[in-house]
């Protein structure tokens, strides 16, 4: 299909999680042009320009030498790899998968394989790996929920409705710009986050919507320790709250509403259950502590008068409460999500246009949009017959504690005993917390397999590394349920080296395992694209809309998808008629008190929203609170070597922001290389001084590729600036067990030692090319069992 490139001067339409674009490759340089219809394209597109042939790309299948030789040596990031021809690597892997499956069963294979990979709907790494493991072995140990919304995805269905309905099918940006008077944005709504939407995004509307609203008079409040968590176009008032204290502020606001009789009693009586129990807590009837503005002031650092004034402002006109993902990516992260909804319920505007509660509005480009009226192409994953699963962020616990019990959402489960980890399309040594602990955990399984486009730390730590094509090297279809365009993602360049598509790799493995037909259904990549497209086309045709044949869609490069009318979703229907449209909660009402959650008897997630201070508080040794949030110059760790990401670094290092007072008291000036540390680990970063970070806060975004000093012992220094060497690996609570990577406490000092070079993007060099004679299938995994012991 690449011949279509020639029809347009070599330009090909394409798409990514951060925007639709066209690209042209002349064999040396890549030009990228954003989609002409996008009002605010993301600068992250620039990261593609030097990615195709970067030295970090993986060109050939590689196998860890010590794994081949069964030495039982611990895995390291500097281990030698042997380059193998594809056929040998695939034979070896097929034999190893068969060995593990035959010896231990499918519940010994972890295929949770979390990660964002690339935007196309067919070459969707998660779907491909899950489909393969389902077809080949009847299933695998999966992971549930996400690193983005680990706590909210579990708490919301108990108290208000599904995560999907409350985040993505709720208040639209159009409603905000037309109706909203006040936005209380807990955690802000930074444009760097809404730049991104999984599956792709062709129109970035958030900046202009906030500007339009602000120009009409909407008052935005950026409730965050970072001023730029709302864009300047929102003309927001910044309320630099102490990190992790939003629930106390929400309670202070709630108490002020009651004190001034500004809460909506009718709404609470008609649409909610359990308000009386919560009000006892609010008034301090049982614990002796009313949660008044003065109390909240002592916790949040905001003046009591400011809290009372904010409550009055919220009770005037149309008010929208939003709570960002970041607030729940922390210990007790369920609480701000729930309390935000309760605050909105007390204001009585849930379900009104532009008012009430929208969880995570602006957290991704999927939110605040109208939903498509037709389905988008989706790769079927098959059926997973294995019951065992983990909440996604419990990966280290699972590997380190096989067979041990853990609690989750009212159930006691056990961690499975994993022998083989198979990952495609994610970077756990970027995304998981407490990387030094993760390294110990990843030394437990007998075999680790990774498909990667580049030598990430996760690839370096694997035993079998298979080179995957990157998105620009294959044809695909880009689409998201909330984006009005279906994009023909045409191949822009041939694959680097011998890289193959994940689909091709799994098809070749399936052939070796005797299940090729079941995996491919007899289709090649092009036939799959046509097949997946047909669902969308047929739905368009049935509704009488433009529904071109696949070839015509491919020639045009994109296709407009119609949207459902903006009907306000679940909450509007509920408000209009709560008897006919009950919420999908146990009572059918908004649960301000949940008897289900109360029955779990979790002190870390009681039966109503509660102020629970994090157990990780600043101390004289570690006196700063680290915010490790999403980066602005790349998506997660993707293309960290790309031009835009690199242009933001100082001396090749990730930039950490410090408040001027904190920098001065430590003798740090802009551009200094600093060491950030706590008892879990340490990393280097380059200092920027900014009053956009509140005093006591240090801001280091995620995504700088992990780059440990060789021979650095148990807790090697990351010389590049990956904050996950510092973060805590604990669940949000026993309810959701979500990721808590957003905040932790650290100390920071000017780095005195010689500055080590950055090696994160150097390819992992092969030691030699050789033929493998004994297959691990003949062995018994004894060496690795020794390592486990």
Which positions touch ligand PGD (CB under 6 A)? 115-118, 123, 125, 147-148, 329, 424-427, 430-431, 451-454, 456, 468, 470, 502, 628-630, 635-638, 702, 723-724, 727, 741-742
Query: Least separation, in Å, of the C-beta of 527 and ligand PGD?
Result: 19
Query: Least separation, in Å, of the C-beta of 68 and ligand PGD?
Result: 22
The one-character DSSP state at 195 is T
**C-alpha span between 433 and 423 (Å, rounded):** 17
Query: Least separation, in Å, of the C-beta of 515 and ligand PGD?
Result: 20
Q: Catalytic annotation on 116? A: yes
8 A C-beta contact, residue 568 and residue 353: yes
Q: Specify the 3-state DSSP secondary structure of 506.
A: helix
How much of the chain is in helix, strand and coil states, percent to nearest 5? 35, 20, 50
Half-sphere exposure of 114 (CA within 13 A, CB side): 22
8 A C-beta contact, residue 480 and residue 200: yes
Q: Which is nearer to ligand PGD, 350 or 395 (CB)?
A: 395
Annotated active-site residue in 116, 140, 173, 423: 116
Residue recorded with tokens 């593990």 = 100
Q: Which is nearer to ligand PGD, 175 or 194 (CB)?
A: 194
**C-alpha span between 229 and 195 (Å, rounded):** 13
Q: Which is nearer to ligand PGD, 245 or 427 (CB)?
A: 427
Residue recorded with tokens 């906030």 = 210
Query: Least separation, in Å, of the C-beta of 534 and ligand PGD?
Result: 23
Q: Specify the 3-state DSSP secondary structure of 269.
A: helix
Nearest to 166 by CA among 340, 355, 365, 359: 359
Q: Catalytic annotation on 519? A: no
Backbone phi, psi, residue 64, to 5°? -60, 130
8 A C-beta contact, residue 676 and residue 687: no
Query: Least separation, in Å, of the C-beta of 736 and ligand PGD?
Result: 14
Q: Is the dihedral of CA 455, 398, 336, 621 positive or negative?
A: negative
Q: Which is nearer to ligand PGD, 425 or 607 (CB)?
A: 425
Please give the structure tokens belonging to residue 154: 């579990």
Annotated active-site residue in 11, 25, 67, 114: 114
Return left, alpha or beta for 187; rule: phi > 0 is left, psi -120 to 50 is alpha, else beta: left
**C-alpha span between 255 and 261 (Å, rounded):** 10
Q: Which is nearer to ligand PGD, 355 or 738 (CB)?
A: 738
8 A C-beta contact, residue 613 and residue 649: no
Q: Which is nearer to ligand PGD, 146 or 733 (CB)?
A: 146
Q: Which is nearer to ligand PGD, 506 or 554 (CB)?
A: 506
Query: Least separation, in Å, of the C-beta of 132 and ligand PGD?
Result: 12
**C-alpha span between 212 and 75 (Å, rounded):** 54
**C-alpha span between 750 and 684 (Å, rounded):** 9
**C-alpha span between 722 and 254 (Å, rounded):** 38
Q: Do β-strands 12-16 and 19-25 pair in parallel, antiparallel, or remain unpaired?
A: antiparallel
Backbone phi, psi, residue 540, to 5°? -65, -45
Judged on CB neighbours under 10 Å (0-12, 13-18, 19+), 776 is: buried
Query: Least separation, in Å, of the C-beta of 626 and ligand PGD?
Result: 9
The one-character DSSP state at 381 is -
**C-alpha span between 45 and 18 (Å, rounded):** 7
Query: Least separation, in Å, of the C-beta of 448 and ligand PGD?
Result: 14
**C-alpha span between 656 and 673 (Å, rounded):** 9
Query: Least separation, in Å, of the C-beta of 715 and ligand PGD?
Result: 17
Q: Specify the 3-state DSSP secondary structure of 155.
A: helix
Query: Least separation, in Å, of the C-beta of 562 and ligand PGD?
Result: 29
Q: Which is nearer to ligand PGD, 295 or 461 (CB)?
A: 461
Residue nearest to ligand PGD (CB): 741
8 A C-beta contact, residue 20 and residue 13: yes
Active-site residue numbers?
114, 116
């Amino acid at each position: 299909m690449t011949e279509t490139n020639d029809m347009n001067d070599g330009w090909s339409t394409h798409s990514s999680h951060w925007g639709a674009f066209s690209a042209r490759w002349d064999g040396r340089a890549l030009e990228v042009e954003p989609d002409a219809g996008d009002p605010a394209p993301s600068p992250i597109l620039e990261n593609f320009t030097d990615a195709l042939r970067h030295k970090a790309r993986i060109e050939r299948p590689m196998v860890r030498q010590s794994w081949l030789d069964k030495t039982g040596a611990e895995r390291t990031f500097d281990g030698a790899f042997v380059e193998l021809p594809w056929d040998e690597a695939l034979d070896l892997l097929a034999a190893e998968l068969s060995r593990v499956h035959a010896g231990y069963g499918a519940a010994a294979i972890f295929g949770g394989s979390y990660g964002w990979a690339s935007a196309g709907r067919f070459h969707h790494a998660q779907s491909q790996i899950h489909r393969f493991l389902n077809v080949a072995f009847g299933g695998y140990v999966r992971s549930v929920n996400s690193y983005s919304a680990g706590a909210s995805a579990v708490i919301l269905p108990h108290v208000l409705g599904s995560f999907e309905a409350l985040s993505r099918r709720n208040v639209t940006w159009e409603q905000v710009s037309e109706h909203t008077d006040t936005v209380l944005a807990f955690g802000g709504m930074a444009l760097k986050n809404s730049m991104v939407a999984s599956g792709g995004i062709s129109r970035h509307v958030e900046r202009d919507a906030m500007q339009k609203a602000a120009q009409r008079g909407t008052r935005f409040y950026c409730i965050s320790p970072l001023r730029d968590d709302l864009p300047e176009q929102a003309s927001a008032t910044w309320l630099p709250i102490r990190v992790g204290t939003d629930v106390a502020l929400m309670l202070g606001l709630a108490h002020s509403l009651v004190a001034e009789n500004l809460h909506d009693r009718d709404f609470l009586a008609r649409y909610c259950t359990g308000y009386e129990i919560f009000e006892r807590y609010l008034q301090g009837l049982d614990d002796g502590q009313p949660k008044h503005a003065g109390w909240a002031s002592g916790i949040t650092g905001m003046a009591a008068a400011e809290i009372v004034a904010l409550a009055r402002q919220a009770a005037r006109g149309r008010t929208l409460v939003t709570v960002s993902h970041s607030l729940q990516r922390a210990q007790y992260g369920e609480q701000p999500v729930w309390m935000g909804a309760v605050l909105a319920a007390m204001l009585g505007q849930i379900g009104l246009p532009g008012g009430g509660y929208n969880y995570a509005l602006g957290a991704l480009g999927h939110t605040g949009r109208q939903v498509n009226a037709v389905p988008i192409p989706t790769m079927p994953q098959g059926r997973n017959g294995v019951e065992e699963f983990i909440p996604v962020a419990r990966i280290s616990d699972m590997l380190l504690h096989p067979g041990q019990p853990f609690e989750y959402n009212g159930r006691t489960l056990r961690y499975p005993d994993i022998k083989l980890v198979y990952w495609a399309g994610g970077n756990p040594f970027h995304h998981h917390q407490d990387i030094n602990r993760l390294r110990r955990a990843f030394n437990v399984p007998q075999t680790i397999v990774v498909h990667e486009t580049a030598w990430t730390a996760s690839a370096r730590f694997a035993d079998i590394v298979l080179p995957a094509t990157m998105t620009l090297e294959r044809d695909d279809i880009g689409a998201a349920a909330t984006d009005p365009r279906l994009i023909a993602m045409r191949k822009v360049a041939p694959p680097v080296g011998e890289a193959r598509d994940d689909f091709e790799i799994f098809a070749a493995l399936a052939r070796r395992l005797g299940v090729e037909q079941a995996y491919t259904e007899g289709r090649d990549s092009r036939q799959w694209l046509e097949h997946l497209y047909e669902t969308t086309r047929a739905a368009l045709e049935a509704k009488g809309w433009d529904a071109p044949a696949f070839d015509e869609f491919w020639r045009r490069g994109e296709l407009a998808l119609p949207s459902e009318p903006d009907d306000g979703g679940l909450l509007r229907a509920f408000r209009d008629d709560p008897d006919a449209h009950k919420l999908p909660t146990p009572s059918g009402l908004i649960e301000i008190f949940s008897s289900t959650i109360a029955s779990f008897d979790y002190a870390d997630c009681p039966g109503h929203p509660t102020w629970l201070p994090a157990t990780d508080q600043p101390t004289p040794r570690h006196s700063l609170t680290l915010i490790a949030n999403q980066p602005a110059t790349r998506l997660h760790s993707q293309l960290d070597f790309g031009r835009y990401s690199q242009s933001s670094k100082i001396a090749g290092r990730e930039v950490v922001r410090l408040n001027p007072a904190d920098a001065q008291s430590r003798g740090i000036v802009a551009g200094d290389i600093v060491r950030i540390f706590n008892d879990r680990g340490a990393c280097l970063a380059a200092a920027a001084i900014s009053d956009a970070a509140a005093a006591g806060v240090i801001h280091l975004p995620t995504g700088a590729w992990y780059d440990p000093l060789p021979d650095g012992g148990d807790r090697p220094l990351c010389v590049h600036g990956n904050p996950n060497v510092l973060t805590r690996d604990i669940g949000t609570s026993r309810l959701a067990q979500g990721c808590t990577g957003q905040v932790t406490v650290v100390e920071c000092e000017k780095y005195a030692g010689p500055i080590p070079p950055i090696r994160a993007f150097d390819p992992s060099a092969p030691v030699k090319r050789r033929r493998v004679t004994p297959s691990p299938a003949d062995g018994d995994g004894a060496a690795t069992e020794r390592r486990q012991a």
